[in-house]
Amino acid sequence: MPLVEASGMLKKALEGKYAVGQFNINNLEWTKSILLACEEVKSPVILGVSEGAGKYMGGYNTVVGMVKGLIKDLNITVPVAIHLDHGSYEGAQKAIAAGFTSVMFDGSHYDIEENLQKTREIVKLAHEKGISVEAEVGSIGGEEDGVVGKGEVADPKECLQLVECGIDFLAAGIGNIHGAYPENWEGLDLEVLAEIQKTVGSVPMVLHGGTGIPAKMVQDAIKLGISKVNVNTELQWAFAAEVRNYIEAGKDKEGKGFDPRKILAKPAQAIIDGVKEKIEIFGSAHKA
Ligand code: 13P
Does 209 sit in the ligand 1 pocket, CB within 6 Å? yes
CA distances from 235 to 23, 41, 155, 161, 176 (A): 9, 18, 31, 34, 18
Map residue 157 onto helix, strand or coil. Answer: helix
Alpha carbons 9 and 247: distance in angstroms, whole number: 40
Q: Which atom of ligand 1 is nearest to the CA of 207?
A: 8
Which residue minimizes the CA distance to atom 1 of ligand 1? 209
Q: Which atom of ligand 1 is nearest to the CA of 177?
A: 3
User: 44 CA distance to ligand 1 centroid (A)?
Assistant: 18
Per-residue model confidence (pLDDT) at position 231: 98
Where in the sequence numbering do the catalytic residues fall? 85
Which of helix, strand or coil describes residue 180?
coil
Q: Is 242 in the pocket of ligand 1 (CB under 6 A)?
A: no
**What is the position in ligand 1's atom list of the atom closest to the CA of 142?**
3
Count the helix, strand and coil residues of the chain and give each as a percent rounded to the nearest 5: 50, 20, 35
Give the pLDDT score at 149. Answer: 57
Q: What is the pLDDT of residue 125?
A: 98
pLDDT at 150: 53
| 250 bridge partner residues | none
Residue 205 pairs in a beta bridge with 170, 226
List residues forming the annotated binding site for dihydroxyacetone phosphate: 179, 209-211, 230-233
167, 123 Cβ separation under 8 angstroms: yes
CB atoms within 10 A of CB 26: 19
User: Within the chain, which residues score under 50 in pLDDT?
Assistant: none
Question: How far is ligand 1, taken at its centre, from the CA of residue 249, in Å?
Answer: 30
Residue 199 alpha carbon to ligand 1 centre in Å: 25
Please state, in angstroms and rounded to a whole number, the distance separating the CA atoms of residues 220 and 41: 23
The Cα–Cα gap between 167 and 192 comes to 20
Amino acid at position 207, single letter: L
Residue 121, helix vs strand vs coil: helix
Binding site per annotation, positions = 86, 106, 136, 178-179, 208-211, 230-233
pLDDT on residue 77:
98
- pLDDT score at 270: 98
Domains of the chain plus CATH, in order, are 6-282 (3.20.20.70)
Cβ atoms 91, 51 nearer than 8 A? yes
Task: Give residues with Cβ within 8 angstroms of 162, minimum separation 6.
Answer: 115, 116, 119, 135, 137, 170
Instruction: Determine the straight-line distance between the first and last CA of the chain, rounded to whole angstroms.
Output: 11
State residue 140's pLDDT score: 72
Strands 205-207 and 226-231: parallel
